[in-house]
Amino acid sequence: MVAALSRFGSFDHLGTTRSSATDVHSNTATLSFHGATYTSDLLAFTGVELSTNQAKAGGGGYTPLDTLTPADKQTNATLNKEGYIPFVDFGNQHVITGVSYDVSVLEGLNQTQIVAAMYDPKSEISQRVLGTANMMTASLCQLTHGQPADVCASSAVTKPEAAGVTQQDISAPTPAAPGRRTRTHPAGWAAFALSVAGVLVSAYLTFEHFTASATLACSDNGVVNCLKVTSSTWSQIAGVPVALAGLAFFLAMMLLCAPTRWAARTRAIRLIGVLAGTAMVLWLIYVELFLVEAICLWCTAVHAITVLLLGTVLWWQESTRALPRTSRAHSRSELLCGGPG
């Protein structure tokens, strides 16, 4: 599961652990989702570790760890009536109940040795683990509508046969290791580009403000009169030049829209920021048309960029929000992604 999800985003604070000493496959090296976070523009993932690998005093199961939310309890009760562990729900479209391959191939190895074996296409671990990861990836690609294309169009993913966990043509992921940078949605790149454009135009207007618009490239008579607008009493708010405020706004938006692994975590701040900027633009348009009674073409460029930025950010928000909240894994902490596989 980690190998599959790492093709769409990245994990932070992913833990290492081992299966219980009393399990059938005792002390098997694995990973833990307890305390981990997953970042992606394409998918949302919730990993729930229901218990530790430590038996309760007096027997009767394992020490409880995480708890299911009411919504997750309902999903588990509806789609996993038999109570299998692991249980993985792919956006209510596909589910995995129970183990996906024979985990005996992992016995006696630590996490480092397992990862090394995954990069050997001839090893049984690679064939079983990556075969399962490829089939999971195929399910995830249905949720992301085939994005990212280089992952979802790869031959190993487009041919996830039932016997794929043992097929001989599976190769190591390239790249599919944990920690891979999150892929940015096209709307994110567009928002970043618009923010950069806004910085450039606002920087020019700020320079002109502090140099008395001596070199302002714009008409200074008639309805289109940049000088009249940029030198009016409305060109400052509480002593702060509007152009400088615009520059600060676009610099902030450029950081919030930057194609980094943190982009998915700033969705709310990004939306609030662009809405505030758009509200300011509407006010400035009113000032130009009805109070100053002149139009500044450079200011209009800023206004247009802001409105386009609003539309792009909304597109970005909707494109990620509309994707199902997928892959809820409910499991014991000693099992990989809620259990081997």
Report the relative pairing of strands 87-90 and 94-97 from DSSP bridges: antiparallel
Over its length of 341 residues, how does the chain's per-residue pLDDT go in tens digits?
A: 898 999 999 989 888 888 888 777 788 888 888 889 889 888 888 888 888 888 887 777 788 888 888 888 888 888 877 777 778 888 877 788 777 777 888 888 998 998 898 888 888 888 888 888 888 888 888 888 889 988 898 888 887 553 344 333 322 222 222 333 445 678 889 999 999 999 999 999 999 888 876 677 888 788 898 888 888 999 999 999 999 999 999 999 999 998 875 676 688 899 999 999 999 999 999 999 999 999 999 999 999 999 999 999 998 877 654 433 333 333 322 222 333 33
pTM of the model: 0.52
Angle, alpha carbons 150-152-105 (nearest 5°): 105
Pick the CATH number of 186-321 from 3.90.1150.10, 1.20.1440.130, 3.40.190.290, 3.50.50.60: 1.20.1440.130
- The single residue listed with the structure tokens 């296409």 is 121
Q: 319: burial class by Cβ within 10 Å (0-12, 13-18, 19+)?
A: middle
What's the 3-state SS for 125-174? HHHHHHHHHHHHHHHHHHHCCCCCHHHHCCHHHHCCCCCHHHCCCCCCCC
Q: How far apart are CA 237 and CA 251, in angstroms?
A: 19
Report the relative pairing of strands 325-332 and 87-90 from DSSP bridges: antiparallel
Outline which parts of the chain fall under CATH 1.20.1440.130.
186-321
What is the end-to-end Cα distance of the chain in Å, rounded? 6
- Annotate 176-191 with b (16+ C-beta within 10 A) or e (fewer): bbbebebbbbebbebb
